[in-house]
Structure 1
């Protein structure tokens, strides 16, 4: 059961990664924003995508909390997970530079780094089972 949850989380994360990459690419190549601004915008849209996917797919059996409250919790946990994500992104850019494939290598490494804390926070806090267990006992 737990391994299925991780697989679903990874699938939703894959979709979030696609959104992240597309928005990041559009921001730097079409809108000509700087790398950090592009990364922040793509992160916000990807986090919102993964929250919705996890709400409807990964943790669909769990009690549905108010959307705004749950999105806020998810976004807060994503911000916590973004710290190592952005740090790895910046360090990778520092060592590889900011041209060619380097920004995308940095993006992948950053996303993978943040995924571990994001799953833990989502599983234990954002999509908490507490409410289901309470209702099941009645």
Structure 2
């Protein structure tokens, strides 16, 4: 699959992840009255799982990690950790800089997700799904 098509599919997966992430954090803060920092940890894990599933079956369908699904998911979470640090750092900076975002943490989550997207695509393609699948 061409790089441009992979990037487009990765962006769709990112949009799915953003909906899961922002929707979860917003619901936990607004309706369940969770702390927005704690809520973001759970929302990120759910979003990362959704993006892994999408990218494994769509974006990198023609590439292999050589791992079992559980090991691949754990590796995905580890690799996405770098992007998660960028993502969460920007989220915290925005919340601290703009207290009005406490009522709308989904906006800060979206900004963090956008900043981390390039890091995540590079590590997913270049590290985890770097080998083409073998045709048997």
Task: Pick one of 99, 102, 117 that aligns with 2:102.
Answer: 99
Aligned to 1:7: 8
- Greater Rg by CA: 1
Runs of 4 or more above 2 Å deviation: 98-101
SS in structure 2 of the partner of residue 31 of structure 1? coil
> How far off its partner does 1:100 sit?
3.7
| TM-score using structure 2 length | 0.90
List runs of 5+ in structure 1 lacking aligned partners. Answer: none
Aligned length: 133
Quick one: distance in 2 between partners of 1:105 and 1:33?
17
Q: Report Cα offsets for 1:4-35 as digits up to 9, x if no partner.
A: 11000000110111111111122112221100
| TM-score using structure 1 length | 0.89
Quick one: distance in 2 between partners of 1:70 and 1:99?
34
Quick one: distance in 2 between partners of 1:27 and 1:99?
12
| RMSD of Structure 2 on Structure 1 (CA) | 1.7
Higher RCO, 1 vs 2 (CA within 8 Å, ≥6 residues apart): 2
Contact 2:29 2:35 in 1 (8 A): yes
Q: Report Cα offsets for 1:71-122 as digits up to 9, x if no partner.
A: 0111001111111111111111111114343x23211111111111110000
Quick one: distance in 2 between partners of 1:31 and 1:107?
18
